[in-house]
């Protein structure tokens, strides 16, 4: 596994972070609450059993990057109703993270959130973690015209809105698929792995320049390199 070195990131101007299961660890199970509410919304909106709703939810996630995209394309679901419902969760399972706060403080340059979720959800998460003040902005699914990662159109919109220079940017993601377009644009990429988002045999991971099971450990190791 490639070792992170601060010198490799000397030209970095923008640090782009995914939100769920990236900025906070997947072990908190916060996203499990969203998963449950997505199933309930789909069952109610489409008149499906919970099992059939869950199958459709995961099918659309695999096909389009988000379940919402499939619901819009195939069922004309109101995206605002969906997003408001599925993100009405208990964020109190997250606690302030002083170590994350310190590491973000030490990163030179600006920080952005790029999420397939809503700005409200991102704001709630960052507030609970105590790190909202570090981020210049949130590029959420609405800002991306409801086009989710890994569709390249969303990345292009994010880059244009925030004047990101890809060759001087780093992207952190728990979904290895979502790092493909970032790497193709010239960004450095860091895959924050967890059991819920693992590749299958034969998947090309060459676009994941760095891999880690521990975002905070990775940042600590990178920032600990002595300055020359």
pLDDT per residue as tens digits for the range 80-90? 999 999 999 99
Q: Mean per-residue pLDDT for 116-143? A: 98
Q: Is the pLDDT of residue 2 over 90?
A: no
74/16 Cα distance (integer angstroms): 31
Tokens of 190: 């860091």
Q: Residue 151: what pLDDT?
A: 96
pLDDT of residue 3: 86
Compute CA distances 120 → 115, 218, 222, whole Å.
Answer: 11, 28, 31
29-32, long-range: CB < 8 A, 24+ apart:
29/93, 30/89, 30/91, 30/93, 30/94, 30/125
Q: Quick one: pLDDT band at residue 227, thresholds 50, 70, 90?
A: low
Q: Where are the domains of the chain?
A: 6-24+95-223, 30-86
Predicted structure pTM score: 0.94
Is the domain spanning 6-24+95-223 CATH 3.40.50.1000? The answer is yes
Beta bridge partners of 113: 17, 138
What local confidence, expressed as pLDDT, does residue 35 receive? Answer: 94
In 36-68, which positions are buried (b, 16+ CB within 10 angstroms) versus exposed (e)?
A: ebbbebbbebeebeeeebbebbeebbeebbbbb
> What angle, rounded to 10 degrees, do the helices at 50-64 and 30-46 form?
110
Is residue 199 scored above 90 in pLDDT?
no
Q: Which CATH architecture has domain 30-86?
A: Orthogonal Bundle (1.10)
Rounded to whole angstroms, the Cα distance separating 215 from 207 reads: 18
Going by DSSP bridges, is the β-strand pair 188-192/169-173 parallel, antiparallel, or unpaired?
Answer: parallel
What is the pLDDT at residue 171? 98
């Amino acid at each position: 596994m490639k070792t992170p070195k601060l010198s490799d990131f000397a030209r970095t101007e923008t640090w782009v972070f995914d939100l769920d299961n990236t900025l906070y660890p997947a072990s908190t199970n916060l996203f499990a609450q969203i998963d449950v509410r997505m199933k309930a919304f789909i069952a109610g909106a489409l008149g499906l059993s919970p099992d059939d709703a869950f199958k459709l939810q995961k099918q659309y996630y695999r096909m389009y990057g988000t379940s919402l995209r499939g619901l819009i394309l195939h069922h004309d679901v109101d995206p605002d109703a969906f997003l408001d419902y599925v993100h009405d969760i208990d964020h109190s399972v997250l606690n302030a993270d002083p170590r994350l706060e310190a590491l973000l403080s030490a990163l030179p340059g600006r920080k952005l959130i790029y999420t397939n979720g809503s700005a409200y959800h991102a704001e709630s998460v960052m507030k609970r973690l105590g790190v909202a003040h570090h981020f210049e902005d949130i590029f959420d699914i609405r800002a991306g015209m409801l086009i989710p990662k890994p569709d390249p159109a969303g990345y292009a919109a994010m880059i244009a809105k925030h004047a990101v220079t890809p060759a001087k940017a780093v992207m952190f993601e728990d979904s290895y698929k979502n790092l493909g377009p970032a790497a193709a644009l010239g960004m450095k990429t860091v895959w924050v792995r967890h059991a819920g988002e693992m590749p299958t045999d034969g998947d090309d991971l060459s676009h994941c320049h760095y891999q880690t099971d521990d975002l905070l450990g990775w940042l600590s190791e990178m920032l600990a390199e002595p300055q020359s």
